[in-house]
Structure 1
Amino acid sequence: MSTPHSVPAAFRRQAARTPDAVALADGTRQLSYAELDSRADALARLLAEEGVRPGDRVAVCLERSVDLVVALLGVLKAGAAYLPLTLTEAPARLSGMLTDAGVELAVCDAAGARQLAGQSVRTVSELPGPTPAAAGLPAPGAEDLACLMYTSGSTGRPKGVMVPHRSVVNLVTEPNYVTLGPGDRILQLAPVAFDAATFEIWGALLNGARVEVPPHGPVGPAELTELLLERGITVLWLTAALFHRQIDSDAASLGTLRTVLAGGDVLSTDHVRRLRAAAPALEIVNGYGPTEATTFSLCHRIAPDEEFTHSVPIGTPLQGAVVELRAADGTPAADGDEGELWVGGAGVSLGYWQRPELTAERFVADADGRLWYRTGDLVRRRADGAVEFLGRIDGQFKLHGQRVEPGEIENVLAEHPEVRQAAVAVRTNHLGDLRLVAWLTTVEETLNRRALRAFLRERLPDHMVPALFATVDELPVTTNGKVDRKALPDPDWKSKALYL
């Protein structure tokens, strides 16, 4: 049987196969596949009545809930693309994304309505109940836009990655990196604007599994342990930081799973060894992939007795994906040499929304017409074919699974009247935790750090607000005149003055 070309088509096929199976649950409510299908159809019809047409972008801003998933599917069934928003998005950044994406309508709940107050968008805040089978809904194609995922931008302007239906469908159809099917329960833990949620939600719903939605708010190690047991979770995705934290807190708690996937940053080999000792039957997968290539491009299933010489490999390509290592001049790198990772295949997105120059820079067609995404990551291929991550070619980095362009933060810092110059980098503090640090040259000798932090929170998401601000007489520069982030002095982590 051929693979459906869109998310709604793939979901409808699964709903027809298992109409009575539970698709969604949040501890108090649950929907079967048939009920979810009907509710999403009803929302799609309502959106059409509100003027939504195929190709439009519709914002989705709800608490983590059953209704959030209904909203995402309903937008897709209306032929539109969803723009997922977090409830903690900085107002200025939120406004910029809505304007950039040309959003005129948003689906939200009460919390989302408060977040969108003052924005120039109409809202649908009450989702309709189930209705008889819908007829005449649009049928999006494989290349049609499914969602806009905004990532940090080096110029201070976030960039929207255009993810088509075929990329989402490829991610979770007959995956070679994880087993998914009826009977599985996947915890929907990632923020909806983080592309890991693409795997959690559609990986479950397009394979007959069950999406388990945790309560609102942060989920700490103890709460995660309880959720895994209470909900019978079988497959879990964690950022590297949360993966490490859970192992430090209670490694055995992950032993109730069949598979744990982790990534978004470098995995600690020591933590992997400790988890294997605490949960020897657990399958551990290291997942790698930029948003531009739809969540995962390569994955590595860690063998029970695998030894690590340098790091945990990021592995081999996903189904439908191809990778190449290229030298600085764009030619293929020799076996064993370092090279930039280029990703091709079905997962590669359509480029950046309304950013043709940036798209042309990062998305490159070869002589055969195949499109490649240049990741900017430096890697090496081992003799066994597995790829190892070596670092970034540019200054971009990942922090707690979220991509951070230091230039975006530095540009916002430079807008503050007390700041002359700014540089941002990640450092490991005295407790061994990664923290975002800003080094500043200032107009006056004293700096109002509280006011500066408030200024940033109006313009940046929380994960991009530095943990501390260090003042310096001047920023170190390299011989070519760029800020030398490696030469920035280590801060005094115990000095309260740097935080306040």
Structure 2
Amino acid sequence: MTSTAESVHAAFERRAATFPDAVALSMSGRCVTYAELNARANQLARHLRGKGVDVETPVGVCTERSVDTVVALIAVLKAGGHYVALDPRQPRERHELLTAEAGIRLILTQELLLARVSGLTDVLVLDSDALELTGLSTTDLALPVLPDHAAYVAYTSGSTGRPKGACITHRAVLRLVRSSNFLAVEPDDAFLMFAPLAFDASTLEIWAPLLGGARLAVAPPGAPSLAELAETVVRERVTVLWLTAGLFHQMAEGPMARMTTLRQLLAGGDVLSPHHVDRTFAALPGIRLVNGYGPTENTTFTCCHVMEAPAEGDTVPIGRPVTGTEVYVLDDRLRPVPDGESGELYAGGAGVARGYVGRPDLTADRFLPDPFGSEPGARMYRTGDLVRRRTDGVVEYLGRLDHQVKVRGFRIEPGEIETVLLAHPGVKDACVVVQTPTVAEKRLTAFYVCAENVAAVDLRELLRRSLPPYMVPAVFARLEALPLTRNGKVDRAALAARQIRERPETNADFRAARTPVERQVADLWADLMGLDEVGVDDDFFELGGDSLLVTRIVTDIAERYGVELRPRDLYLSSTVAELAEIIDKALSPGAPAPAPSGADAATTD
């Protein structure tokens, strides 16, 4: 019988006792049973206890996707602590900030990532020969960890230039993954662990299968192409997959039909396109498609819209509250608005975070007493999202009430980026907005005013040193002055609507294409980035390229030339000339066959 005062790891331990010989993890042909996973986590947990980890101790985790990563997460919870993800793709300056903000005194990492975190605080290398655990007990620790103790802290962008860490409890995780009304988990299911650990989608990916007696299929490290992702899904017999809205749209335009093992597909993090919803049902008849909505502060999902047939209408709703969640649509005086009228969405229930770590002022502003809750001390989270509830109870998303945006599934406060830009001594003013070159694509664009000629490449490098990659704008545009509204505020709508087709400043002078392949690759890049022209020596990432565009380019080249590239090829050969040379060599007589596009070719984003 399930205890009402249970922790995440206690729920896992019950599953391990019930299904000891069932496969809990699989990765590249390797399988780990529930009993083995539990035993390894118990040994590591005891080692962590010896390192000083106790109830409410924050532990940093900086790892690539691996079996060791999953063992580490369970072990941290068993030791009483909570994990704080340090994304390997983020710069060291960001790691320094989060380590200090969260009060981390121990970081778990891997040998290949040691240099990224060495010197920040004490470090434990999980795959080191020096880490000897075999002599430690494999039995459960049975520590008094309660539902309201922290399970993890997830950092999101902050409008003041300082990230904020939402403290998520064991109770909140259990509310998401057990007995949910949007997801049916069976013992024969397999979930793909694909999202970065720092992205709260990983909460669902990891804990739903492990607490439901299913299998967690760990995707190899790196950013796969669309074809490689589809191949991984089929090879691992994945039945449940979560994708960001941007990647979902790309897969719907690409190899969605190959993923025949899927029975449930979740997408979210941004607005879904009805066109791509319909394409998915055409590609995978019988699929159950879920549009998931929710801020990190309410533990991944607040509302979900479950679809078993093509979309109806011009928009995809965010649906109904998930199990254990209350949704209120309120006016600016916290009064419920009638169905059909717009209001701000407030989320209550078991999924609400404890607040922001070390930020009592911000916590008080966003986490309010719940006047509608039935439990004493209940709180609700103010999302800042404008919605309306239909008469049938389905909620529709209308937009943001502030400047916060979502790009590639990540919630971003433009103010945090603007703060870093304004720290440059030559920048007088700056504004970051989202532009939408196509219906299904978004990009961050930074407009700036400078007293002297500040190079865009220098600003890009400034941001790369202190912000995560997803927060570095794709486009930088210099203006004489930022446009203002009649009220004297920056006219963000005008900036978002401004077309920028000029080739951006890069470290290379413009050089035109000379060969047919160079011209075709240059035209492909220009088309995807909405530019009038691209030089053959221009760097893909200086032009504003990102990991989603990498997958588009790799897929297009495979279809056009029959040349199977890997994302890593574009990271290593990031100019038109370099990429064209790879294609020419692959097409030349006697050239060796292209490398297989299996998951072993996945690369670091």
**Structure-1-length-normalised TM-score:** 0.96
Mapped partners of 2:132, 2:223: distance in 1: 28
Native 8 Å contact 2:475 2:504 kept in 1? no
Does residue 399 of structure 2 align to residue 391 of structure 1?
Answer: yes
Mean alpha-carbon deviation: is it higher for 113-122 or for 33-42? Answer: 113-122
Pairing partner for 2:258 from 253, 256, 259: 253
- The residue aligned with 1:316 is 320
Counterpart-to-counterpart distance in 1, 2:173 and 2:458? 42
From 164, 168, 176, the equivalent of 1:163 is 168
- Distance in 2 between residues matched to 1:370 and 1:286, nearest whole Å: 27
Query: 475, 483, 500: which is aligned to 1:492?
Result: 500
Partner Cα separation in structure 2 for residue 114 and residue 440 of structure 1: 34
The match for 1:379 is 387
The residue aligned with 2:15 is 14
The amino acid that maps onto 1:256 is T
| 2:200 counterpart of 1:195 | yes
| SS of corresponding position for 2:355 | coil
Equivalent residue number for residue 36 of structure 2: 35
Which residue number in structure 1 is paired with residue 351 of structure 2? 347
Q: Is it true that 1:440 corresponds to 2:448 in the alignment?
A: yes
Q: Structure 2: how far apart are the matches of 1:154 and 1:429?
A: 25
How many Å separate the matches in 1 of 2:364 and 2:343? 20
What are the superposed Cα offsets for residues 322-350 of structure 1, whole Å, 9 maximum, x if unpaired?
A: 10100122111112100101110011110
Secondary structure of the equivalent of 2:306? Answer: strand
Q: How does 1:116-127 map to 2 (within 5 A)?
A: 116-125=117-126, 126=128
Opposite residue 11 of structure 2, the aligned amino acid is: A
Alignment of 1:236-275 (within 5 A): 236-275=241-280
2:55 paired residue number: 54
Give the partner amino acid of 1:150: Y
Separation (CA, whole Å) in 2 of partners of 1:88 and 1:168: 25
The Cα shift of 1:117 comes to: 2.4
Q: Residue 206 of structure 1: SS of its match in structure 2?
A: helix
Structure 1 residue 29 displacement after superposition: 2.4
**1:426 maps onto 2:431 in alignment:** no
- 1:218 shift after superposition: 0.2
For residues 16-415 of structure 1, what are the structure 2 equivalents within 5 Å?
A: 16-125=17-126, 126=128, 128-129=132-133, 131-134=136-139, 136-308=141-313, 310-367=314-371, 369-415=377-423
Contact persistence 1:229–1:256 (CA under 8 A):
yes
Q: Say if 1:162 and 1:353, in contact at 8 Å, map to a contact too.
A: yes
Deviation at 1:49, TM superposition (A): 0.7
Shift in Å, 1:433: 3.0
The AA in structure 2 aligned to 1:66 is V
| Corresponding position of 1:417 | 425
State the partner residue of 2:480.
473
1:360-395 deviation per Cα after TM superposition (whole angstroms, max 9, x unaligned): 111110345421001100001112110000000101
Counterpart code for 2:261: T
| CA RMSD of superposed structures (Å) | 1.7
What is aligned with 1:454? 461
Larger Rg: 2
1:428-457 Cα deviation digits (max 9, x unpaired): 23796321100000121x332222211111
Deviation at 1:225, TM superposition (A): 1.2
- 2:24 and 2:215 in contact (8 A); partners too: yes
- Give yes or no for the alignment of 1:463 onto 2:470: yes
Deviations 1:246-302, CA, capped at 9 Å, x for gaps: 011123124430000000000000101111122221110100111000001111111
Contact 1:177 1:299 in 2 (8 A): yes
The two structures have a TM-score, normalised by structure 2, of 0.80
TM-superposed deviation, 1:85: 1.3
- Which amino acid is 1:459 matched to? S
Checking the alignment, whether the CA contact within 8 Å between 1:78 and 1:137 is kept in structure 2 is no
Instruction: List gaps (5 residues or longer) in structure 2.
Output: 507-541, 544-605
Q: Which amino acid aligns with 1:389?
A: Y
Conserved? CA contact 2:191–2:241, under 8 Å: yes
Count matched residues.
Answer: 498
Cα contact 1:188–1:201 (8 A) shared by 2: yes
Alignment partners' CA distance in 1, 2:221 and 2:123: 25
Q: Which secondary structure does the structure 2 equivalent of 1:458 belong to?
A: helix
CA distance in 2 between counterparts of 1:165 and 1:129 reads 27
Structure 1 residue 495: Cα displacement: 1.6
Q: Distance in 2 between matches of 1:432 and 1:178?
A: 25
Q: Match for 1:366: what amino acid?
A: D
Cα–Cα, structure 1 residues 193 and 494, in superposed 2: closer, same or farther, change >3 Å? same
Q: Is the 8 A contact 1:39 1:128 kept in 2?
A: no
For residues 203-233 of structure 1, give each alpha carbon's deviation from its aligned partner in whole angstroms, at most 9, with x where no partner exists. Answer: 1100011111111110221001111111100
Q: Helix, strand or coil: the match of 1:428?
A: strand
Alignment check: 8 A CA contact 1:239 1:263 kept: yes
Question: Are the aligned partners of 2:249 and 2:440 in contact in 1 as well (CA < 8 Å)?
Answer: no
In the TM superposition, what whole-angstrom CA distance separates every residue of 1:74-103 from its partner, at most 9, and x where no partner exists?
A: 000000010011101122221111001111
The more displaced of 111-120 and 53-62 is: 111-120
